[in-house]
Amino acid sequence: MNRTPDRPGPIRAVLFDVGGTLVHEASPGRAVTDLVARTRDGAVADLETLAHTYRLGAVTDTAVMGEEQVRRLLAPSGLDALLEVVVTSADVGVAKPDPRSLRCAMARLGLDPATVLYVGDRDLDAAAAAAAGAAFAPVGDGSPGRAVIRWLRANEGAFAAARALLGVPDRTAEEDARHLHDRLTKPPRSLGDLETLGARLAGIAGRAPPPLPFPAAVAVFAGDHGVVASGVTPWPQAVTAQMVVNFSRGGAAVNVLARAAGASVTVVDVGVAGPVPPAPGLIDRRVRPGTANLADGPAMTVDDARAAMDVGAEVAADLVAGGARALVTGDMGIGNTTPAAALVAAFTGLPAWRVTGRGTGIDDATLAIKIAVIDRALARGRPDEGPIEVAARLGGLEHAALCGFVVGGAAARVPVLIDGVIALSAVLTAAALAPRVVPFCIAGHRSTEPGADAALAHLGLTPLLQLRMRLGEGSGACLALPLVRAAALVLREMATFDEAGIGR
């Protein structure tokens, strides 16, 4: 994360200048009665999205209109309904760069200036923000929302920017897809859950029929775990680095299954303990060389967790920018089912024994050690902990990176196929930080790990496949890719009754 030392953050509210920022500037000398608010491109959609995460308001230096008049001008566009407060110079009696207008707005929101971002188009807006103790983002030539995203990416990191971009599925597109299914040459609902999946894809993309979720990209995030020292697995930690090399050479199960589904594989070293030689398809984004032992204390720092989440969000954005139209979660890390079970227990409230499985096939004695270790780690939790603190105390670097990856994919409005218990524990973390992420996630399969069942139930996700798998790597999610593609193809290529000339 790139938060600047003098800005404690995180940002909780965004205030906007009006003229030149949310709407185009009116010509000088124009009478108030003749004013019409011409909204800047993207402003309404931007604020609708930002309103899911931040409190929104406006501060303008107009000296001839009060809040009620400004709201009336903005009402036809819908901007009025998105702004919790509107403060004008006429209301306060001072013009920018005097900071009192901004302070008034912040006081009405009950917020510390250090948690407020002000977006404007002129130097006096920047001066007012500085005087009030708020951050400032210039709107520039883009939309006001893009100015917010640029600022977040530079100051709070890629995860915060992705979280701010998270919208909601398009319910109109979903309904259009359902209606289209009813007109296709088949009995109503005869394709069962495939029809539901097709409608979900339409909602994610915002149009029906949905675009093909192809090509798909798998990202395998790799990290090591200090908890291995507590005897939770018989496998040596060195296997993580060896498997990363195997992934890079295309020799692992996920490589084979991804090739079968026509998906690419990118391997990301986010926290492997040992050295890993450079290889094609391998990205070195190591935050630290493995976590500490969660049996004895926090697995990592909050900053480590945030940095790993940023890595995941950046990888998702890069893959989508490179042409991916569906993302698949992958993971590698010896011992990583222990932190996964700990995260599942923490976020679902279930006891460790209910959500802890045998991972690579451990015996009863090792399973007992694993449950005891998780119990000890859970017992150190505090009631005031936030989701990031929980992720840092219990999770792994690949779990945090997967959390960012899922949010990044959802922010880009592509379906994210979720693999087994490692990925599901990351989705639980993501959902605690950004609840709107869940509808963009498609559960690829039902892992035999008990924590997977608990996470699926908590998230309300129904897996597409049940093959008694527990490998991880992204293997089960890869196998579900053809089903997801088929759900889109049916809506895109199947004839309607009218097109086929078939009467009903």
Please give the biggest Cα pair distance in the chain.
83
Task: Tell me whether strands 441-443 and 416-418 are parallel, antiparallel or unpaired.
Answer: parallel
Six token digits for residue 492: 């895109």
Is 449 considered catalytic here?
no
Query: Rounded to the nearest 5 degrees, what angle is found at the Cα of 438, between the Cα atoms of 457 and 428?
Result: 60
Q: What distances in angstroms separate CA 380 from CA 297, 347, 373, 384, 394, one per listed residue? A: 8, 14, 11, 12, 10
Burial class (CB within 10 angstroms; exposed 0-12, middle 13-18, buried 19+) of 349: exposed
Instruction: Please tell me which residue in 314, 385, 473, 499 is annotated as part of the active site.
Output: 473
Classify each residue of 243-274 as buried b or exposed e, where b means 16 or more C-beta atoms within 10 Å of its C-beta: bbebbbeeebbbbebbeebebbbbbbbbbbbe
Q: What is the DSSP string of 203-270?
A: HHHTSSSPPP--SEEEEEEEE--GGGGGTS-SS-THHHHHHHHHHHTT-SHHHHHHHHHT-EEEEEEE
CB within 8 Å of 499: residues ≥ 6 apart? none
Query: Alpha-carbon distance 177 to 182, whole Å?
Result: 9
Active site residues: 473
